[in-house]
Amino acid sequence: GPFLIPVLGDQLDPDLAALRHIDKAHSIVLMMEVADETTYVRHHKAKIAFILSAMRHHADRLRALGWTVDYVALDDPANSGSFSGEVARAIDRHKPAAIHVTEAGEWRVRAMLESWELRFDLPVTIHEDDRFLCTHAEFDSWAAARKQLRMEFFYRDMRRKTGLLLTEDGQPEGGQWNYDADNRKPPPARDLLMPRPIRFQPDAVTQDVLAMVATRFADHIGSLDHFQFAVTHEEAMRQQRHFLDEALSRFGDYQDAMLTGEPFLWHSILSPYINAGLLDPLALCRAVEQRYRAGKVPLNAAEGFIRQIIGWREYVRGIYWHEGPDYAQRNALRATRALPGFYWTGDTDMHCLSQAIGQTIDHAYAHHIQRLMITGNFALLAGVDPHQVHIWYLEVYADAYEWVELPNTLGMSQFADGGLLGSKPYASSGAYINRMSNYCGSCRYDVKQRVGRDACPFNALYWDFLARNQRKLASNPRMALPYRNWDKMLEDDRTAIREQAARFLDSLD
Ligand code: FAD
Ligand code: DLZ
Ligand code: SF4
């Protein structure tokens, strides 16, 4: 019999490990739209539409390359609803001699793939996913040699491994590894000439998917009215070139900036495509380096961007697999509050939150600082159960798969792993938001006040967070300064701040 090659929804790359060195003529590629994957969390409608449309286009691309593709659509009446169920049916149809598959991107699906050999009594080869620079073995040996797993040192190794932005004698370009200190400029005034991502018009395939998603997932979060994602490799490459030409040069400067009504700024909007397999992250980094070498973009932009991909992206993946399936259950600060309802509607007077959540509902997108310092920071300060925060992020972003979302959310943003990813919690009062955005100017709250009816809620919540977690955080040297400031405050002020926070938190439930 032939080889059966299941290709999952985030493996949309014709060069995928399981497809390489295998004889097309004696193989059947199996692609499956299944209910389980669309509902294991209640994904944003646009995320589902993006993935299913990209899968359908990818099947066509593989066929054009000479593969036989067996494609199971979500509304196929015989659809069993799960990967394992569909592989079972495909085995009946094709009587394969063996299965070849590329490793999955999360523990849940990995367990399924590992069960197939026994369950189907067929040889199953699980190929390592080499769309990543750092193998599991390399990460594990890097981690084994260290007490602290700091991204910065991992990143330097990845620079050496790829040769990206190195001089001929192996030194970092410009003399420094990291130019982050140059990348914290507050936003410029909003103007019409700012770059904006390409709006791809849905073709017939995408329109079919949009109609199906609108009815079948009507009760999931999110709007389809603004759907503008690329759904093919060619389209994703157009967005990549657009980013390199229009936005990269100022990516570094404004990486942390936020502006009312401008969801995208100088960000690339490439993560959904990279994660789904439509774009090659290393080729993208080489293109960025080439723009720098050609004198088209400054070093802080090129280095900052490359660090996000070969540094952060590879590092969080390493952490995810290194820490094991129980990582998702961690809750170092023992936070238990339910996620406030406005995370599903954007309906709050806090302008920064309504902006970040509103654009998430519209576009299944928010950039890094919005995820970290607006929605993430608020949940951290309010003491929301990190598992609920994790599920929300996994649902609402088009780029969210557990391997990348979980360490960013649970670790970096909620400090629920006790400080594996970040050496201190990303907690801040309104002052940071006011410095990096123009949000506070259009807010009903006053960012300068700590107590009273008009006080910005982030302020009292920030001090209340510190006070609440003093036992766990005060010994952290990087928290010494804020705790000194808290201890210096007058007793009455401290009491008023904590009462203010308590009243606000009560009003959330
Ligand atoms: P740009 O700002 O243009 O950055 C370029 C690329 O760098 C991104 O496309 C992405 O591939 C990579 N990158 C940047 N930061 C990170 C990071 N911290 N981890 C991994 N890759 C990174 N990213 C996801 O891809 N999926 C997620 O589910 C996800 N969840 C997140 C949750 C939280 C709480 C936080 C704080 C961050 C999360 N990130 C996630 C990281 C980051 O916010 C997104 O990668 C980025 O906003 C995507 O938009 P962009 O393509 O315009 O990125
Ligand atoms: C996220 C997602 C969704 C919404 N739907 C599908 C699907 O119908 N079929 C599929 O193959 N993959 C889907 N995915 C992506 C998978 O959840 C992803 O491949 C797994 O999480 C493994 O990493
Ligand atoms: Fe957000 Fe506070 Fe600024 Fe309002 S005043 S936008 S709540 S930080």
Can you tell me the ipTM of this complex? 0.99
**Domain 3-127 classified CATH 3.40.50.620?**
yes
* Number of Cα atoms under 13 Å in the Cβ half of residue 93: 16
CA–CA gap between residue 46 and residue 36 (Å, rounded): 17
Residue-level pLDDT at 189? 87
Residue-level pLDDT at 416? 97
Q: In the chain, count of helices (H) and strands (E)? A: 23, 5
Where in the chain are all domains bearing CATH 1.10.579.10? 341-508
Positive or negative, the CA dihedral 116, 120, 121, 123 is negative
**For the CA of 278, the nearest ligand:** 1
Residue-level pLDDT at 182? 83
Query: Could you tell me which CATH number the domain at 341-508 has?
Result: 1.10.579.10
Q: What are phi and psi of 259, to 5 degrees?
A: -135, 135
CA of 29 from ligand 2 middle (Å) equals 16
Q: CA 220, 222, 227, 232: dihedral to nearest 10 degrees?
A: -50
Q: What percentage of the chain has pLDDT greater than the value 90? A: 95
Give the bridge partners for 4, in sequence order. 28, 99
The per-residue b/e assignment along 351-381, b for 16 or more CB within 10 angstroms, e otherwise, is bbbbbbbbbbbbbbbbbbbbbbbbbbbbbbb
Positive or negative, the CA dihedral 136, 139, 140, 141 is positive
Residue whose tokens read 């954007």: 346
Asked whether residue 181 carries a pLDDT value surpassing 90, the answer given is no
Q: What is the mean pLDDT of the chain?
A: 97
Atom 6 of ligand 3 has which residue's CA nearest to it? 440
Asked whether residue 478 carries a pLDDT value surpassing 90, the answer given is yes
Residue-level pLDDT at 147? 86
CA of 35 from ligand 2 middle (Å) equals 9
How does strand 27-32 pair with strand 69-72?
A: parallel
**For the CA of 6, the nearest ligand:** 2
CA of 309 from ligand 1 middle (Å) equals 9
Residue-level pLDDT at 509? 79
Average pLDDT, integer, range 214-223: 98
**For the CA of 272, the nearest ligand:** 1
Which pTM was predicted?
A: 0.98
Category of 195 on φ-ψ map: left (φ > 0), alpha (ψ -120 to 50) or beta: beta
Residue-level pLDDT at 47? 98
Where in the chain are all domains bearing CATH 3.40.50.620? 3-127
Residue-level pLDDT at 442? 96
Are 275 and 229 a contacting pair, CB within 8 Å?
no
CA of 48 from ligand 2 middle (Å) equals 9
**What is the residue type of 409?**
T
Taking alpha carbons only, the member of 413, 407, 408 closest to residue 426 is 413
**What is the residue type of 192?**
L
Asked whether residue 112 carries a pLDDT value surpassing 90, the answer given is yes
**Domain 136-195+247-323 classified CATH 1.25.40.80?**
yes
Beta strands across the sheet bearing 27-32: 69-72, 27-32, 3-6, 98-102, 124-127
CB atoms within 10 A of CB 96: 22
CA of 154 from ligand 1 middle (Å) equals 17
Asked whether residue 503 carries a pLDDT value surpassing 90, the answer given is yes
Query: Which residues, at least 6 apart from 266, have a Cβ–Cβ distance to it below 8 Å?
Result: 194, 195, 247, 248, 250, 251, 253, 254, 255
Where in the chain are all domains bearing CATH 1.25.40.80? 136-195+247-323
CB atoms within 10 A of CB 98: 15
Average pLDDT, integer, range 341-357: 98
Average pLDDT, integer, range 390-412: 98
* Residues with C-beta less than 6 Å from any ligand 3 atom: 350-352, 430, 433-434, 439-440, 443, 445, 447, 456-458
Residue-level pLDDT at 190? 85
Residue-level pLDDT at 421? 85
SS3 state at 31: strand
| Mean pLDDT lowest among 149-153, 290-294, 381-385 | 149-153
